[in-house]
Amino acid sequence: MHSQTSPTKVKWCFVMENTIKVICYGVGVIGGKIAKAILKKKGITIVGAVDVAKEKVGKDLGEVLGLDKKLGVTVTDDPEELFSNIEADIVVHCTSSYLHQVYPQIIQCVKAGLNVVSTCEELSFPFDKYPELASRIDKLALDYGVTVLGTGINPGYLMDTLSIVLTAPCLRVDHIEVTRMMNSAKRRIPFQKKIGTGLTKEEFIEKMKNKIITGHVGLYESISMIAAALGWKLDRIEEFDPEPVIADRDLETPYTKVPKGHVAGLKSIAKGYMNEKEVIVLNFVAYAHVPEEYDEIIIKGEPNIHEKIIGGVHGDIGTVAMVVNAIPKVLNAEPGLLTMKDIALPSAAVEDMRIYVA
* Omega of the bond leading into 190 within 30 degrees of 0 (cis): no
* pLDDT score, position 186: 80
* pLDDT score, position 15: 45
Which H or E run includes 335? none
| Predicted TM-score of the model (pTM) | 0.91
- In angstroms, the CA 56 to CA 68 distance is 16
Strand segments, DSSP code E, in 26-74 are 44-50
pLDDT at 163 over 90: yes
pLDDT tens, position by position, 232-277: 999 999 999 999 999 999 998 877 889 999 999 999 999 999 999 9
Pick the CATH number of 161-312 from 1.10.3470, 3.30.360, 2.60.40, 2.30.30: 3.30.360
* pLDDT score, position 9: 47
In DSSP terms, 118 is beta-bridged to 93, 150
Please count the other Cβ atoms lying within 10 Å of the Cβ belonging to residue 101: 12
Q: What is the mean pLDDT of residues 329-344?
A: 96
- In angstroms, the CA 98 to CA 119 distance is 10
- Please report, for the chain, the start and end positions of each structural domain, with discontinuous segments joined by +: 20-152+317-356, 161-312
pLDDT at 311 over 70: yes
Pick the CATH number of 20-152+317-356 from 3.40.50.720, 2.40.110.10, 1.10.1040.10, 3.60.20.10: 3.40.50.720
Q: What is the mean pLDDT of residues 125-144?
A: 98
